Structure 1
Amino acid sequence: MAEGTQTRDGRRGPAVPLPAAEAGFDAIGLARHLLRTVRSGALATLDPEDGTPFVSLVTIATDADGTPLMLLSRLSAHTRNLLADPRASLLFSAGGKGDPLAHPRLTVTGRASQSEEPRHRARFLARHPKAALYADFPDFGFFALEPAAGHLNGGFAKAAVLRADELRLDLVGAESLVAGEAGAVAHMNADHLDALALYAAGTGAEAGPWRLTGLDPEGMDLLAGDRTARVLYPEPVREMGALRKVLVAMAAEARGGGEAGPA
């Protein structure tokens, strides 16, 4: 009964995961939250010799659109498997106290390929700063998992399947925001740690120190040690001018209506 008792006709029975739009809860929002906040997960690959499934633990970040990113060594079995057969899946599990099956988790299936995109490197290392110690070793490389579909279990009686376009953000029209991300992140971390602390507190997160690791049209990713926080804007933004206005308004509201905020 771990998948719940949800059926298409409402009768009690084994759960049939519904399309995200029919799931009866915010399946897309929860799936994207897991993508952005979980920093490690189980990577499943296929042994090229006999097709045996092989599962290993990897660290994860995301691109601006939510595409999962990994830093893998070619000395590892999972990397050799991917280079022979790119089909893979990643399990994102929130974890927590009590029954592990009571907490949400997301499986993303797709194909993984090595990436030379500088933004992938930057976003991964921002999320996993200690990985900079070995990221340039000759056997390591960055990989992106191109999502094909997602399977979400949000807890008891909450299951949904998601399309690739429901997992990832559409970045059309947000090119200037993506291009300006690095500068905005550096500026916020240098001059507005107080605002970042307010944003994190607004999600219910404990005190930091919090720093910004990435931003996108839907929200911001924060990190404090090994803890993460996902901050959503009141409404999506697609260019830097709109982002600044939203961040100022969010900081002002968190401070109780004052006008001071990120500049």
Structure 2
Amino acid sequence: MIADTTPAVQARAVARACRTATLATLMADGSGRPYASLALVAFDLDASPLLLISRLADHTKNLTADPRVSLLCDGTAGFAEPLTGPRVSLLGRAERTDEPQHRERFLRRQPGAAMYASFQDFAFYRVAVNRAHIVAGFGRIHWFNDYAFEEDTAALAAAEADILAHMNDEHTDAVQLYATHLLGKPHGGWRMCGIDPEGADLLRGSDETGYELARLPFEQPVLDADAARAELVRLVKRARTTD
């Protein structure tokens, strides 16, 4: 994992590992009451949350009237006592996006959503986070403003599709090794569905059986194809020496 363990880095690691989040909005009926719902989530390269939601849903009606939202990303799965596990609350404004890259990143992580992504009542949204809160364990609780990854991700974004195609078509054995030897996941069916400066996302499953996501963290941030290649090579070498 990246050595810099600031609250922002920890928060992005927790968030990026989630496929769902609790979405909180303010009711559009004038009452000002909070409303929480479950949403599928993906993340832009800078870790900004991406949503695909229907205008018929209450949460979309709410954020259309008031774009202020909060997302709870829950990393407590597997903890015997959930309150000892990490979780992150992201506060910001939801803005509709027609950026093709946002659509592609979302659907690679959430392939089951492809069946309704083109419906007229559905649209993609990006949440611009301006404040965040992390509970990383007992006594490790922080509010902070600098959540997003701030370095330029344009070069990596431009190379992402080629990197994924290369890994999934030419190096399927390496992707399986990442999942099984480095992340302790069961063997079989893993594909790389996303890459960002801080790690790669691995996915397996189907619409019928459901999907499982695994997060492969990088030791150092990568900002272009060459740096990504070097880090992926380093990780596969490490995986081959891990029993």
With normalisation by structure 2, the TM-score equals 0.88
Match of 1:254 in 2: 239
1:191 and 2:170 matched: yes
3-state SS of 1:155 partner: coil
Deviation at 1:171, TM superposition (A): 3.6
The answer (yes or no) to whether the contact 2:89–2:132 under 8 Å persists in 1 is yes
The answer (yes or no) to whether the contact 2:8–2:148 under 8 Å persists in 1 is no
1:234 and 2:219 matched: yes
Distance 1:162 1:194 in 2: 40
CA deviation vs aligned residue, 1:228-256 (integer Å, no higher than 9, x gap): 22222232222212222222232223223
Match of 1:125 in 2: 107
Which residue identity is paired with 2:48?
A: T
Which residue identity is paired with 1:67?
A: S
Identity %: 42
3-state SS of 2:136 partner: strand
Which residue identity is paired with 2:128?
A: E
Match of 1:54 in 2: 35
Pick the aligned partner of 2:87 from 90, 105, 120. Answer: 105
Larger radius of gyration: 1
Q: How many residues align?
A: 230
Distance 1:99 1:246 in 2: 34
With normalisation by structure 1, the TM-score equals 0.82
1:67 and 2:67 matched: no
Pick the aligned partner of 1:150 from 124, 127, 132. Answer: 132
Contiguous gaps of at least 5 residues in structure 2: 206-210
Which residue identity is paired with 1:251?
A: V
Match of 1:203 in 2: 183
The list of structure 1 runs, each at least 4 consecutive aligned residues, that deviate by more than 6 angstroms after superposition, is: none
Q: Structure 1 27/205 Cα, relative in aligned 2: closer, same or farther at 3 Å?
A: farther
Match of 1:181 in 2: 160
Distance 1:207 1:159 in 2: 36
CA deviation vs aligned residue, 1:97-146 (integer Å, no higher than 9, x gap): 43332221110000001110101100000011010000000000001110
Distance 1:92 1:150 in 2: 11
Which residue identity is paired with 2:217?
A: L
